[in-house]
């Protein structure tokens, strides 16, 4: 793991005293004393690679606890691995510290990494630390493994496949509104639940083996349900029909809906949910639901894959065709 060429000894001390201890049981990291790590995937497995970054003011708020910023960084990458059906192995961290970042803030950030490394098995193996005068950012390159040839791709969706989503949709959007103080009138319990979901998404790793068994295609919901389903449909060259009435919403999200704090269009396009969207052959859909429950997850059918010429259609809660001008988050 390297430090910024312009850095003082502080960065090297940070690596040695805060980050290196995270690798105590990870020989591949070489104690963070080299510029690279050594990783061999399990025999008979493919190595799956993904990379996500989070930026202050875009993916997290400056007021968010540093432990939870680190955990969100880990979990958005774990969500990608989950959608591929992969088991986590290791990661490389790039940390861009904002000016005047304090040592206690960095220590708290590393505690968050340590907690999720222990919880999910995504072990630090190296990376880089730099100064970021334009604002803090953090990036993770994550590695996972799947049995050879079994990675679940975005391509592969087929006409009549059932569209499933895990968990609930819209909590990320609702939690962001709470964090931005745009949720006046929402109960304290709802605010706490939604803010936690925004800050600490839940990677659905236990769904991975089931995706390899059942799914024709899958993707994690990061940009928004409609946007990410659109990505899957585009790569698979198919269309879709989504029933908003069947989209699972949490109690907190429903409370906000009832109070007019947001619309269903906001919830299906808001992003930051990090649930898994999968398309399953219709003759295996019920078994997929049952097997998901066995591993402690609820998956919900929200629509059907249709032929490309039939388009991409969203049916509103009354069953009428609806137009959603903004389908999901876009960086550019």
Tens-digit pLDDT profile for residues 152-178 = 999 999 999 999 999 999 999 999 999
The chain-wide mean pLDDT, for the chain, equals 92
Report which of residues 102 and 7 the model is more confident about.
102
In whole angstroms, give the CA distance from residue 302 to residue 243.
Answer: 6
Sign of the CA dihedral with 49 first, then 111, 134, and 197 last:
positive
Tell me 226's DSSP state.
Answer: H
In whole angstroms, give the CA distance from residue 168 to residue 163.
Answer: 14
In whole angstroms, give the CA distance from residue 200 to residue 194.
Answer: 10
Element (H, E) at 280: strand 275-280
pLDDT, position 329: 55
Whether 57 has a pLDDT exceeding 90, the answer reads: no
In whole angstroms, give the CA distance from residue 198 to residue 272.
Answer: 7
Read off the pLDDT of residues 250-268 as tens digits, 9 standing for 90 and up: 999 999 999 999 999 999 9
The tokens for 304 are 């059907």
pLDDT (average), residues 246-251: 98
pLDDT (average), residues 191-219: 97
In whole angstroms, give the CA distance from residue 163 to residue 151.
Answer: 19
What the chain holds in terms of domains, given with CATH numbers, is 2-147 (3.30.1330.10), 162-322 (3.90.650.10)
Helices (H) and strands (E) in the chain, counts: 10, 12
pLDDT, position 6: 37
**Are 32 and 15 in contact, with CB atoms under 8 Å apart?**
yes
In whole angstroms, give the CA distance from residue 187 to residue 229.
Answer: 31
pLDDT, position 7: 40
Record the pTM.
0.92
């Amino acid at each position: 793991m390297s430090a910024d060429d312009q850095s003082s000894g502080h960065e090297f001390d940070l690596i040695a005293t805060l980050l290196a201890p995270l690798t105590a049981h990870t020989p591949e990291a070489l104690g963070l004393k080299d510029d690279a790590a050594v990783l061999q995937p399990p025999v008979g497995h493919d190595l799956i690679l993904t990379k996500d970054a989070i930026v202050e003011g875009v993916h997290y708020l400056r007021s968010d606890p540093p432990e939870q910023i680190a955990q969100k960084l880990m979990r958005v990458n774990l969500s990608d691995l989950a959608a591929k059906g992969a088991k986590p192995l290791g990661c490389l961290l790039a940390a861009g510290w904002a000016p005047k970042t304090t040592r206690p803030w960095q220590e708290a950030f590393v505690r968050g990494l340590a907690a999720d490394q222990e919880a999910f098995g995504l072990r630090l193996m190296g990376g880089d630390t730099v100064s970021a005068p334009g604002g803090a950012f953090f990036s993770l390159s994550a590695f996972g493994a799947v049995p050879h040839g079994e990675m679940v791709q975005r391509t592969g969706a087929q006409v009549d496949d059932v569209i499933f989503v895990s968990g609930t949709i819209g909590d990320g959007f609702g939690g962001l509104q709470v964090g931005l103080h745009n949720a006046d009138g929402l109960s304290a319990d709802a605010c706490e639940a939604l803010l936690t979901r925004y800050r600490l998404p839940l990677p659905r790793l236990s769904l991975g083996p089931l995706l390899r068994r059942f799914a024709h295609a899958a993707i994690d919901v990061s940009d928004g349900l409609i946007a990410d389903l659109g990505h899957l449909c585009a790569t698979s060259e198919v269309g879709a029909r989504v029933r908003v009435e069947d989209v699972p919403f949490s109690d907190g999200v429903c409370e906000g809906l009832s109070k007019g704090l947001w619309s269903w269009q906001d919830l299906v396009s808001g992003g930051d949910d990090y649930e898994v969207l999968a398309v399953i052959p219709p003759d295996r859909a019920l078994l997929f639901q049952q097997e998901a429950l066995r591993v402690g997850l609820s998956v919900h059918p929200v629509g059907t894959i249709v032929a490309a010429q039939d388009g991409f259609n969203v049916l509103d809660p009354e069953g009428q065709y609806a137009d959603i001008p903004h389908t999901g988050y876009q960086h550019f």
